[in-house]
Chain A
């Protein structure tokens, strides 16, 4: 067992437990705070996969911006801050069965297809070897090969921003 494996399993356990609390918690604010734990854990997994820039973006955008936006949503819709018994649908068993079935199908096909395929350790990856920095390679790719999608994303963000303002404006 290498250190990466130990960290992987510790963080994965934290992610899964927090994710289950996000969808079962009877308190909206607690659910949002458990979501922070999930997002931080996912960011740690990106570091294990040698994608430091994605990890930094995850912390900045998700934990920094999206969580704040969601908490504003909780406040503005005056969901009761505190315990609320009605947050889960009475037919939640059907949802749980659907999720379990979906996981069964996905786990079977993943294990069947990728059984023991390895991800190269960070020291072996070709990514890590380009100028010693993964972030430089990512920026080269974003501003080179993926320049057009990058520009389109910025237009999409602008459109979403204008749309959100138009929708939420009082008049």
Chain B
């Protein structure tokens, strides 16, 4: 137990990912679902940086930076869509949006 184990970081990422998946499945407010997606993206970043450290390469850190940039774009577009839904329906409750239901 003198070193940091790779699995410490991977399991932390797994916990964070599963909490995020629970948030996406169980929340009804669209903004809260976007927050849960941020949790998922962060868990992936932990994995990327941990694997990069294990291999002694910066590729993991570079990919984590790319993921952070994509996450910023995702939140921007996602919130614009949520705002548009709110403007049309006066609600961001995901249970109300069932027009596409077969």
Contacts and interface: CB of A to CB of B under 8 A. Distances in A.
Nearest to B42: A42
Closest 3 CB pairs of A and B: A95-B25, A160-B73, A23-B23
Contacts of B71: 61-62, 66
A119 B6 contact: yes
6 contacts: A15-B16, A16-B19, A39-B42, A62-B42, A79-B29, A127-B57
Interface string B17-58: 111111111111111101110110010011001101110111
A99 B21 contact: yes
Interface residues of A, number: 92
Given A39-B42, A102-B18, A127-B56, A70 B35 contact: yes
Interface of B: 1-12, 14-32, 34-36, 38-39, 42, 45-46, 49-50, 52-54, 56-62, 64-66, 68-77, 79-84, 86-87, 92-93, 95
A49 B50 contact: yes
Contacts of A88: 26-28
A114 B39 contact: no
B69 A157 contact: yes
Contacts of A39: 38, 42
A118 B3 contact: yes
A73 B81 CA distance: 10
Name A's interface SS: helix
A118 B79 CA distance: 40
Nearest to A170: B87
A69 B5 CA distance: 35
Given A117-B6, A164-B77, A22 B39 contact: yes
A111 B11 CA distance: 9
Interface string A12-39: 1001100110110000100110010011
A151 to B, nearest CB: 12
A116 to B, nearest CB: 6
A106 B3 CA distance: 23
Interface string A144-171: 0010011001001101110111011010
Contacts of B32: 23, 28, 31, 87
B21 to A, nearest CB: 5
A167 B92 CA distance: 16
